[in-house]
Amino acid sequence: MDDLVRGSGVALITPFTKGDIDYKTLAKLVDMHVENSGSIIVAGTTSEAATLTDEEYHSIVKFVIDRVNKRIPVIAGAGSNCTQTSINKSKFCEESGADGLLIVTPYYNKTTQRGLINHFRMIAESTNLPIIIYNVPGRTGMNIEPKTLLEISKIKNIVGIKEASGNISQVAEMIRICPRDFLVYSGNDDMVIPLMSLGGHGVISVVANMLPKETKKMVDDYKAGNIEMAREAQLLMNGIINALFIETNPIPIKEAMSILNMCSPEVRAPLYPMSIENRDKLIKEMDAYGIGVLSKTC
């Protein structure tokens, strides 16, 4: 199975200005990631897709696909807690030229493990695109069990999983029992190299929004056998990664990018601007990593 994410994919933010999508900044970010990331994931959690109107969702997916213009893969978030809504989104993304789909587990109403299999099967049968499913129980209240993933992995065009349970034992069991060509990506930036050491394939990353080149190099180094370099990169990056999750994602990553003049820190309600105390902690970790912002912000 081809690596749709190409090692390191960025879970792209949606820049806002005065409540509206800032397409000028979005274009700049997309161009940066075309040069430095393996793929772009649009309209996911980090994109604040839950607060996009239907019109905005359609617009931003189409904008990113057109801007990338097949230079790297674009994977579009098409998940929902309603199976039919996810099917409709998947069809739209396919018609718009997406290279793949990211489908999160149903949230709020949840389901059984058998229901999960049926949910993903129905979506997969509605599209020809390759699908990466997304397991993030901390957000959804719904965990994909390893034996359930094994059944899901048998569905023809479901090619991988973004695994963000934070449970390394579960990851190991998933990789142990699933086919070797089933792609397992870390959904946790602080666990990329541990997951790859078990046979994982890379990361769909939040920190790559501000450190795309460094994140991709870490993954590429591991794949090339430069294990010590990759390990050191992971350990060095973990301080800033921890700070990026001190408040709900994507609040901290937008704040960090704002400090670097990459975008506005604006998030949509119910998300709320970062506290001064946590912003100071974030700045210190950015400085410790070597970004050198502390003196500029004092």
15: domain CATH number?
3.20.20.70
Q: Give catalytic status of residue 162 as yes or no.
A: yes
Give the pLDDT mean for 158-183.
97
Cβ-proximal residues to 149 (8 Å cutoff; 6+ apart), any chain: 135, 161, 174, 177, 178
User: Residue 85: inside a domain, yes or no?
Assistant: yes
Strands 202-205 and 8-11 come out as parallel
| Confidence at residue 2, expressed as pLDDT on a 0 to 100 scale | 77
User: Residue 34: inside a domain, yes or no?
Assistant: yes
| Confidence at residue 41, expressed as pLDDT on a 0 to 100 scale | 98
Q: Please tell me the distance from the alpha carbon of residue 26 to that of residue 268, in angstroms, as a whole number.
A: 16
Q: Which domain holds residue 196?
A: 8-212
Q: Which one is catalytic: 134, 185, 222, 289?
A: 134
Q: Helix %, strand %, coil % for the chain, to 5?
A: 50, 15, 35
Q: Please tell me the distance from the alpha carbon of residue 176 to that of residue 251, in angstroms, as a whole number.
A: 35
Question: Is 106's pLDDT higher than 70?
Answer: yes
For helices 113-124 and 83-96, angle between their N-to-C axes, nearest 10 degrees: 30
Residue 293: pLDDT band with limits 50, 70, 90: low
Q: Which one is catalytic: 62, 89, 162, 254?
A: 162
Handedness of CA 79, 200, 99, 120 (dihedral sign): negative
Give the pLDDT mean for 206-218.
98
Question: Is 298's pLDDT higher than 50?
Answer: no
SS3 247: coil
Domain count across the chain: 1
Nearest in space to 135 (alpha carbons), one of 108, 159, 106, 98: 106
pTM: 0.95
Q: Give catalytic status of residue 134 as yes or no.
A: yes
User: Residue 96: inside a domain, yes or no?
Assistant: yes
